[in-house]
Amino acid sequence: MRYALTILAALALPAIAHAQGATASSPPEFARKAEHLKPGEWVWASKIAPTGPLLVYVDLSRQLATVYRNGVRVAVSTISSGKAGHETPTGVFTILQKDANHRSSLYNSAPMPFQQRLTWDGVALHAGGLPGYPESHGCVHLPFGFSRQLFAITTLGATVVVMGNAVDHVRTSEAGLLAPIDAKGNPTAVKDLSDLEFRWQPERAPSGPLTIIVAKKDQRIVVLRNGIEIGRSAALIDDDDPGSHVITLSSTRDGKPKWIYLGLPGHEEDAGRMLDEATINRVRVPRAFYTAVKAALRPGTTILVTASSVGASEGQRITIMDAIAPTP
C-alpha cells in the first residue's frame, strides 16, 4: 500500500508471482527452501499445520514475513516495507479490514490486490513491488501469489506482529510498540498507570483474539483484544534477554491448550518449545489482574515478549502489592 503501482505492473504480477512461489510437504524441505529465498520468492507449506490459530510475523530487518498456524511455521515470503521517510511502523496489530480489490485513496487509486488493513491511516499488507529492498510508502508489499493465499486463510482480528528495523539490523526498537485505537479505529492517547497497579476494561472490546505484550523495558504488561487495549498492569519482569519472543496458546492433539514458542527469525531454536515454569517464574503481576487475564485466555492468544517500549513513563518505580507468579 502507499506505493503507486501502474496498471501494467499490477496486471503482470500474477504471472511473475506464480513462477516465484514454491510449495513444501515436509518441515525439512520447507526449512531448506525458506533459507534461500531471493527477492519476490516465497514458500508455502500449509499441510504441515492445516488448522489452528494464525499469526503473521513481519521481520523488517530481514525483509521477511512468516506465517504461523497453531505455533508452526507454514509459510515464508520476502517483502518490501516502507522506505526512508515512510518507515513501516513496528508493533502488534490486528487485521481490521480485508479487500481483495482495494485501490489507494492516497496514491491515484493505485491497485492494492488482497489488501489487509493494519491501521486506519493507511498501513496494510498487500501485493506490491518487491525489488529486494524497502520501497513502499509504509505498507508491507508481498508477492501476488503469496498475498492471495494469505488472504484466503486470515480472518478479521488475526494478529500481525511487525518488528525490527529495515535500515539497521537490530534486535529491538526504541520506538513504542503501541499505537492504540478505539472501537471506531480512531487513535487514542496512551494512558500511564500513575499510582494504579493495573487497569482492566474488557468491555472496550468484548470479543476477539487476545494479544498480551510483556514489555521488559517498561516493566509493563499490556493486553489487546481486536487491536484495542483492554488491560495494562505494572509487573516485575526478571529477564535480561534483549531479544523478542512470541508464544501462542495452541491446541494440541490431546485437546489441552499449551503455550508454545514460535521459531521467529533469529530464534529458530524456539520453535515448538513449551513455555516452562522457570520462565514463567520470572514474571510477577497483581493477583486480580492475573485472574482477569487468565479467564479471558483462548486458543490463539498470543504473547509477545519484548525489550521495546509500550509507552510507560521511564524511571517510575511502582511497588507491586499482593503479587502472584502466573502458572501454565
With pLDDT > 90 as the criterion, what percentage of the chain qualifies?
Answer: 18
Check residue 27 and give its pLDDT: 66
Given a cut of 90, whether residue 149 has pLDDT beyond it is yes
The terminus-to-terminus CA distance of the chain in angstroms comes to 40
* Kind and range of the H or E run holding 27: helix 27-34
Q: Strand 97-103's sheet: what is its strand order? A: 97-103, 111-117, 124-127, 140-142
Given a cut of 70, whether residue 321 has pLDDT beyond it is no
Q: Is the pTM here over 0.75, yes or no?
A: no
Check residue 3 and give its pLDDT: 38
Which three cell numbers mark 16? 511473475
DSSP 49-111: S-SS-EEEEEETTTTEEEEEETTEEEEEEE-B-B-TTSPPPPEEEE--EEEEEEE-TTTTT-E
Check residue 190 and give its pLDDT: 52
Confidence band of 311 (pLDDT split at 50, 70, 90) = low
> From start to end of 118-227, where are the E strands?
124-127, 140-142, 159-163, 198-200, 210-215, 220-225
Higher pLDDT, 301 or 180: 301
| 229-285 per-position pLDDT tens digit | 899 998 888 887 777 788 888 876 666 778 888 777 667 777 778 888 778 778 888
Higher pLDDT, 193 or 32: 32
Given the DSSP bridges, would you call strands 21-23 and 42-44 parallel, antiparallel or unpaired?
parallel
Check residue 16 and give its pLDDT: 33
- From the list 76, 66, 78, 72, the residue with the least C-alpha distance to 23 is 76
Check residue 2 and give its pLDDT: 39
Which three cell numbers mark 189? 492517547
Given a cut of 90, whether residue 141 has pLDDT beyond it is yes
Number of H helices and number of E strands within the chain? Answer: 5, 21
| 60-107 per-position pLDDT tens digit | 988 999 998 877 888 999 999 999 888 888 877 888 889 998 877 666
Q: Mean pLDDT check: name the lowest of 19-33, 98-112, 136-150, 176-190.
A: 176-190
Check residue 203 and give its pLDDT: 94
Domains and their CATH numbers in the chain:
7-163 (2.40.440.10), 198-324 (2.40.440)
Check residue 325 and give its pLDDT: 47
| 9-51 per-position pLDDT tens digit | 333 333 333 346 777 766 667 777 778 888 999 999 877 777 7
